[in-house]
Amino acid sequence: MADINIFIYKKGHSILHKINSSIKIIITIIFSIIIAKGSSITLIISGAVLFGGLLHSKIGIKTLFNRFLLIVLPIFLIMAPFYTIKLIELLLLGTIFVGTTKPQDIATGIFTITRNSTISKNLALTINLIPTFLISWREIETTLNSRGIYLRKNPFVIMKNIAIPLLIETFRKADNISIAMESRCYETKS
């Protein structure tokens, strides 16, 4: 579980860490549009900028290149290289954004842009639950491995053995969050 560092805030002192969260959100949206609509030249330029930003922020990309990505990436590069590069760049963009922005700053930045506290809290909770989701996945996988069930053999086994416990755990955590918010008399004013 220690190697799960994707989509988790990493404290740092880089320029990317110091940029206002509202500006980061706007830059992320613009960059996403550029990547989605981009040609091969814009993808090369944006990829270079993203890798430079990733190296500058010192977030680390160890888990982006785990064995799953190393197995699936060549298949996608052969089948649809243009869209694979777009997907990888969007993944890097999300990693840089979440890795350099504090969770409370994400909610504040979204509220500054939308002026709607319900949207900002829901999006901030969603972004903050991604690492929790990945950690739960790893815990379930470790539990299954200790029982002798190895998930690399069959994708249907993965769906059967991980998807259902993961959904149950996710709903349980979402229910705990809603109970905690109700007990603190959380009320949104739009």
Per-residue pLDDT, averaged over 161-176, amounts to 86
First to last CA, the chain: 38
Picking from 102, 178, 164, the residue whose alpha carbon sits closest to that of residue 136 is 164
What residue numbers bound the domain in which 86 lies? 1-101
The pTM for the full model equals 0.70
Per-residue pLDDT, averaged over 20-32, amounts to 92
Same domain assignment for residues 111 and 53: no
Number of domains the chain contains: 2
Quote the tokens at residue 190.
Answer: 């739009």
Same domain assignment for residues 109 and 90: no
Structural domain ending residue among the three candidates 46, 66, 101: 101
Same domain assignment for residues 118 and 90: no
Per-residue pLDDT, averaged over 27-41, amounts to 90
Provide the pLDDT confidence category of residue 183 given band limits of 50, 70 and 90: confident
For residue 85, the model assigns a pLDDT of 83
pLDDT tens, residue by residue, 109-131: 988 998 888 888 888 888 778 77
Rounded to whole angstroms, the maximal C-alpha distance in the chain is 53
Provide the pLDDT confidence category of residue 175 given band limits of 50, 70 and 90: confident
pLDDT tens, residue by residue, 40-72: 899 889 989 988 888 888 776 665 566 556 666
Same domain assignment for residues 112 and 166: yes
- Mean confidence (pLDDT) of the chain: 80
- Rounded Cα distance between 137 and 165, Å, is 9
Structural domain ending residue among the three candidates 49, 70, 101: 101
- Rounded Cα distance between 161 and 140, Å, is 9
For residue 2, the model assigns a pLDDT of 45
Same domain assignment for residues 83 and 114: no
Per-residue pLDDT, averaged over 78-82, amounts to 80
One-letter amino acid for residue 187 of the chain: E
% of the chain with per-residue pLDDT over 70: 84
Same domain assignment for residues 56 and 93: yes
Same domain assignment for residues 125 and 144: yes
pLDDT at 33 over 90: yes
Same domain assignment for residues 153 and 88: no
Same domain assignment for residues 97 and 123: no
- Rounded Cα distance between 53 and 93, Å, is 9
